[in-house]
Structures are given as C-alpha cells and as structure tokens.
Structure 1
C-alpha cells in the first residue's frame, strides 16, 4: 500500500514554485477515504510522473500550506504549474482511480 512521504510546508512551497507541472497528493492517516484510495495511488503516481512531478502532503502536518490554497477536503490531488494552482480533484469525497486519471488527462488538453 502507498505510504505518503512527509514534507515541510517550505518543501511543498519550493516544490510548487519550481518551473513545470506538479501534483500534490493531500491526505491524512486518519482519513477513511484516503485509506480506500491508497492501494491505487502508486499506479496513479506512476502515470502522472510521465508529465509532472509528484509530492505528498499531510493535511494535518501541512495545514498552513493547505489553507493558503483553500484545500480542506481530503483526499485531494492538486495540480500546480509554474507556481500557480491550476485545478484539483477531491473535496472530501471518495474518489476512484478512474476519476483521478481522467481528471488529470483532461488537464493536459
């Protein structure tokens, strides 16, 4: 099962401000819907990393960082490009792998 890596708020900020396309997976250990999606996250990450960099964020440990982008519901996958938030999927509802990959593919168009 996928185990998200921990990062500081500053690491997340530096990551999204770097040139290029970046995905942040926002979750928390206690989140039931996050636990449901975790078996599929590595496959999603492998697909996304063909065209974007990836970083994990913990909703509780990175609360200040998440709040500045209005990120409250988890699990969430958030797309940034060149320092700007482009889009996100997930606002606290259960997501399927298909929903996530289709959302990401649609952002490439």
Structure 2
C-alpha cells in the first residue's frame, strides 16, 4: 500500500480512527531531509502493508495538524496506535533505522 496524503480535514479519520498503527510523516516540498526519507517510507509502507499505514501531512497546506501535534521541525514522524501517539522522532534516518523504530513501536 502506498503512502496516503492526509489533510487537516481527514487527519482524525485516517490517523486517530485507524484500526492499525499509523506512521505520520509531517513534511514539506522544500524540505531536503523530508525528500531523503520519502522513498524509504514508501518502501516500508509497501513492505509492512496490513501491519502499519504510512501517511504524509504537508505542513504548508495543512498547518493545523502540525500545530496540534507540536511539530517544530520537519521531517517529524509520529506513530499512532489506537488513536494515541506511542512514539515520535524528527530528522532524516536510513531506512533500516526507520524500520526498526516502527517495528519496536507497533
């Protein structure tokens, strides 16, 4: 399953009300490190299909979700489980590090 673009309007439905854990990637088009981790998150989304959902929130278009989550820098990654944040991290990381972080959190 490919990553899903989420907006302020769809955040609760896609993230907080999901029946599987959700990785939320707060990013922006102009952010270099965001573009670095994008392909890794896309691959993990496909590899972990059914176990976890990966969604992306463009902070420029959807500032309310970022503000609500207290995002100060991007990329900012959050893992939600049963509607609650169980883990978060910021900054770019290699795919292997992202994968182990996700697996430990879900």
Place the TM-score, normalised by the shorter chain, in its bin. 0.7 to 0.9
Q: Deviations over 1:3-45 (max 9, x none)?
A: 9654320201221221422221221100011122223222121
What whole-Å deviation, never above 9, does each CA across 1:70-100 have from its counterpart, x for those lacking one? 122212321112221111122xx33111111
* Stretches of structure 2 lacking an aligned partner (at least 5 in a row): none
Q: Runs of 4+ in structure 1 displaced over 6 angstroms?
A: none
Give the corresponding residue for 2:88: 88
Two-structure CA RMSD over aligned residues (Å): 2.1
Matched, 1:74 2:103: no
Residue 100 of structure 1 is aligned with which of 92, 98, 101? 98
- List gaps (5 residues or longer) in structure 1: none
Residue 41 (1) aligns with residue 41 (2) = yes
Whether the 8 Å contact between 1:89 and 1:103 is mirrored in structure 2 is: no
- Residue correspondences, number: 104
How high is the TM-score relative to the length of structure 1?
0.79
Q: Secondary structure at the match of 1:9?
A: coil
